[in-house]
Structure 1
Amino acid sequence: MESIKTIIVDDESRIRRALERQVLSCGDEWEVVGSFSDGLEAYEAINQVKLKFDLLITDVRMPEMDGLTLVKKLNESYDYFPMIVSGYDEFSYLQTAMREGSVDYILKPVDRTQFRIQLSEVKEKIIVKRDKEQKWEEVQEKAVLLQKTQQTQLLSEVTWSAEIDQPQIDWNRHFPSGLYRLIYIGIDQFIPGSRRMEINDWEICNQTIQEVISKLNREQLEGQGVHAWWWRAGKFNYWLLLYTEHENNIVSEAMIHQFINDVKIEIHRLTPITVSIGVGIQLHDLSEIQKVRDELRILIQRRIVTGGNHVFYMNKQSDRTKEELEKGLHFTTFKNVQQIISTMENVEDGETIRALQMLFRELEMAESPYMIENAIHLLAIRIIDHWMDFDGFTEESKLLSEALQITRYAGNFQQLKDGVKNWVLKVKKGIAKLKERDSSPISQAKEWINQNLGEAITIKQIADHVFMSPTYFSNLFKAQTGETVLDYVTKCRLKKAKELLEMSDLKVYDISKMLGYQDTKYFSKLFKQWQGKSPSQYRMVHGKYNSE
């Protein structure tokens, strides 16, 4: 166990040494961390180095500061057990000592046997106190972890969906006041040497990226008062939200710049890929997060011109790209692009073509070629991101470059429309093929559930497996299957229980445990509701071993 740190205060050196020897003779767990000749000397020394101690053994009458005054002053700042040693058997001393929390009042000369007994009792109290403190720390850690998980989930939903009603979110209730900065990390998806990477290789790269972010966050930010939330956006992008409560952030500006560049460099050093990073402006109000999210997604498109492996910074005053985009792209452009994305998984092409026509009608009224080019680039990036969610990275790697060339080589607006429509429908067919080749997210989720029936399954675990937010996954699962996720988990478990009752001689208790039910009575109740018979009754009728 951790040593019991003891401080001894007595103005008689002979008694101090005797007390020290007696304390140390009680076992290796005892440690004397300080020995002082009066209360003032002890008080100043303890405060100077913030000395940690568990037990204070002090005389009452001493020069400069008496023992009872020392105990009272230390009680204001320290949590410890005081023990009073005195040559005076006076009730007033005893009364004051008890009032200040003394665990014992010992008269001189100190009886060694009795002293050892008293120290043993103090030891037990210290062990109980430490156990309570440890449990409280664990509760606090779990509470902090839960809070951060809930915060990250909210951020994930807000950055993922345009449907979240931001005015309804009380950001002050979920997050502390201070300075925030949103950061977008996007894998440069089409780079030489990475085009033929298999899906498993990409997952290894993603794992490495997560480890890089976590490691550099611990090493560079946490110790400097900067906190971070980070989460995945699809399979190949990440969001980070950095926070500091300090208004004077000159140091943190340089620190954040160093952190971002180190993330970029480390990812390129440890993997065969590169990333581009968009860094948002400082936010005092998180209600602006969706606006910054959209601007960062546009800002990172600069890599179309500069190439990947770059860091791009938003700037309120002088960011030319941001000013141009604000002039060139209207809200309706984003809405029309999102409408096109929402039709990409439809079987028929009619809705996709109609959505494209709405975008084209807007672009026909564009004030400059720049707006047209930017809108098409935005559409291409969003569609490619959607494509990547179906593991399309391993096929048709020239799709993006094809889309970016449409505006360069179109001789007129009609050619532009034809080129964009043909490209969008081509990608749509590719997505359909990928969906046929790979199981849908719901099928993947069902397979995972059936492989983990014995575990304490949560919706978040399943959603993480298919790279979705829990809320979106739950709604999608219900829409496609007609039942809730938890109802499906229960149904799978009961079906498996039925098989085990029929084909094995396992006890009902063991089957219940195997299928994740710790309460056998609850399992039996569920089974009877489903089959009309208890597990034992069902086995009597259908069990292989019983029928034989």
Structure 2
Amino acid sequence: MAPYKLLLVDDFFVERENVKEMVGESDLDLVITGEADDGLEALEAIEVQRPDFVLTDIEMPLMDGLELAERIRLQYPDIHVIFFTFYEKFEYARRAVQLGAASFILKPIFKEELLAELNSIIAKKRKESEAAEREMRLKERLRESLPLLADKFKRELFSGACRHWNEERIRDSLSFYSLPFPEGSYLIMGVEIDRPHSETAEAPDAREMRTLRLGELVASSIADCPSLWSGYGDERWIVLLAFSRETTPEMGLEEGFRRAEKLIASMEAENVAVSVVIGEPFGRLAQTDEAVGQAIRALSHKFYRGYGQMIRACDIEERSVGPEAGWPVNLREQMLRVLNEGDAEEVERFVGRLFAQADRHSPAEIRGVCFAAIAYCGQWLGERRVDPFAGRGDASISWESLVRAGTLQETREWLTDFLTSVLRLIGSDSGGPGGIAEGAKAYIQQHYQEAITIKKISDHLHYSPNYLNQVFKQETGETLLEYMTKVRVEKAKALLTDTDRKVLDITTAVGYNHETYFRNVFKHYTGVTPKEYREKSKR
């Protein structure tokens, strides 16, 4: 780094030579680059040499040191002025302070004092230079970062960080980030790609390029009107439109719909389908985040309305969720019963009933029911030793295809397709109808002592009572009730023959509550009463 430069101003030649000698013999980071006899000559030298310091006498002809210092302060504020004079007058010292003098030295000058003062001033100058360089670097970084900072401010405005700011502060920020915006009314548009989930993995550079390209389409659709926009992830954008004070709310909405149509057409030209929400006009920029929140909530309603929609935010009703909107409490039992009956048309009817009031639920709740269907079916098929994903390739396909279902209709179709595919797996189960009958027999053999009913058996096996009874009779030639009665009577016969238990005890042991009824059933099947049967068996 080059040494600092000093201009020496004094009408006494001897004084100038004395100072030059002192400075020249020192190790100060300083060189004397010029001399002047008075203030006027000094100004001419300053214009050429641009020194860092001016060491000047006060009493000089033509222009004294005080006037010279005033001119330097106005024209060259970075130059430090040092006074040295024979006159120890308070007025001189006061004026020197007013003029921002770096130092005030009395003559005669002593070498140690002069060098100490100059060294102190050089150190001060060096710190100021370093600070100025840091400030310059920071300003340059700020200038380079302004686009990013402007985008950050837009996201803050949209997210609510400016909610409690007054309008003046928000407008000052807009001006600082070079985001001119008229005063008047405002309107939010929400834009979202309808099918954000790619079928195949997308390389990071391709994804970023696609996001930039689509962002440019959003920007071009609003380029000819005062607006701000910001991306929310790769698939969603928020646009803030501004209108003059003369624009009525109706005119603002009309313009919003016109912009939405233009944007949808631009995206379609890129083979990209989008849905657009048009919010309600509002009057204060501090209300922006409320309008953004309304738009984002409204975008979720494309799940019910379908793709490629223009949705007005105020037309959206909040979904009523909770028990009153309820899904069937016994959803699992109903679902597996339908599948066990093996009727594809019944599957469609079941899904139709299930989705009849699905629009009262949030998309997350509806998908949750579908995810539960995957779990229920997987567990049930596993119990039957059937591979839940046989023939379906990767087991994650069902989950991924459900996530890609972006509308209520697509989700309904997904559930129908999934349950139908499970139905085919059940149909291919080696157990078939014979397996159903054997399952019913096994249950009766294990529970004949209890108060079992056909409904209990059908619930356990996940069939409707009528279907189960029909299949059982086809396979065995008897109804469930006939088989259950036969089992109980055979168990009772064994107890009558092998034990001395009372008939009343045997009645309850084989699942009957009333002895009289048991005696009637036993006699109907054997032709004799329980007592007569015991007596005959002992002969």
Band the TM-score falls in, shorter-chain normalisation? 0.3 to 0.5
Q: TM-score, normalised by structure 1?
A: 0.35
Q: Could you state the TM-score of these two structures normalised by the residue count of structure 2?
A: 0.35
Decide which structure has the larger Cα Rg and report it: 2
